[in-house]
Homo-oligomer: A and B are copies of this chain.
Amino acid sequence: MDKRKVGLSDTFKENTAPKSFAKNKINGTKYTIAISSAKGGVGKSTFATNIALALKATGSKVGLLDADIYGPSLPKMMSINKKPESKDGKSLIPIEQYGIECMSIGFLVDEETPMIWRGPMVTSAIKTFTEKVLWNNLDFIIVDMPPGTGDTQLTFAQHIKVDGIIIISTPQEIALQDVKRGIKMFDKLKVPIIGLVDNMSFFESDDGKKHKIFGEGGVEKTAKDYNKKFLGKIPINIDLRAAADLGKPLFEKNKNHKISKIFEELAKEIKESFL
């Protein structure tokens, strides 16, 4: 019997192997942590700004990169209303606010100007923000990701060494469906997931009653089902929302607030797992 195996030639295998991408750190930073959720409107930006400030409070140097090209929130949430400078016409100097280095497409255009852009333009903006910004020796850069599983997510997963993703979701079924898609995407693209946060868990009225507006327990169960860490719950809180609307994140405004304490704990946990 002929023992030769029928198979593909090495050259053919090489030519058809999945492309592997060179993943680089974002220049001037040690660790990249992305705040994600395939779903919009679950509180990613509020989470991103507060966790950045809480990480800073642990003594780390922190930056915030707003990767949501279609819906930048950073300028408003961090009260930044000026354009970044460039010394050579190529690179951009991040803008410091509340001790955090910040960058957003919203710094470059008028607040109400829509970015009516097709995907390749978005990819190009993300590349500029990860390659041409002069981040200054940061321990952590927190990336506020847009909703979806498209160009921005792909660009990060293929070109940037993302050290961990924190996935935010409300507990409602319809949001969790998107979260499951998000988990599958990052697993497929081999980006490590730090864990899942249950945001807008419940609303507590003055009488102390907890209203489970968006349902209950779904995020923790999803974490278990997908073998990911459950990082905890953050209730719906008017102070948290109002602080974001007023341009000073709650953690900056009052770090003794009970919601700020949740961010403080999480930040410590994140710091310990990296530094």
Contacts and interface: CB of A to CB of B under 8 A. Distances in A.
Interface string A5-47: 0000000000000000000000000000000001111100100
A242 B211 CA distance: 13
Given A41-B40, A150-B119, A73 B174 contact: yes
B112 A184 contact: yes
Interface stretch (A85-93, A135-143, A175-183): A175-183
Contacts of A55: none
Contact of A181 (B40, B112, B119, B206): B112
Interface residues of A, number: 61
Interface string A169-197: 01011110110111011001100000000
Interface of A: 38-42, 45, 70-71, 73, 76-77, 111-120, 122-123, 146-151, 153-154, 170, 172-175, 177-178, 180-182, 184-185, 188-189, 203, 205-207, 209, 211-215, 236, 238, 241-242, 244-245
Given A39-B40, A41-B147, 14 more contacts: A38-B71, A40-B71, A41-B42, A45-B174, A73-B177, A112-B181, A114-B184, A115-B181, A116-B153, A116-B189, A118-B120, A174-B244, A203-B211, A215-B242
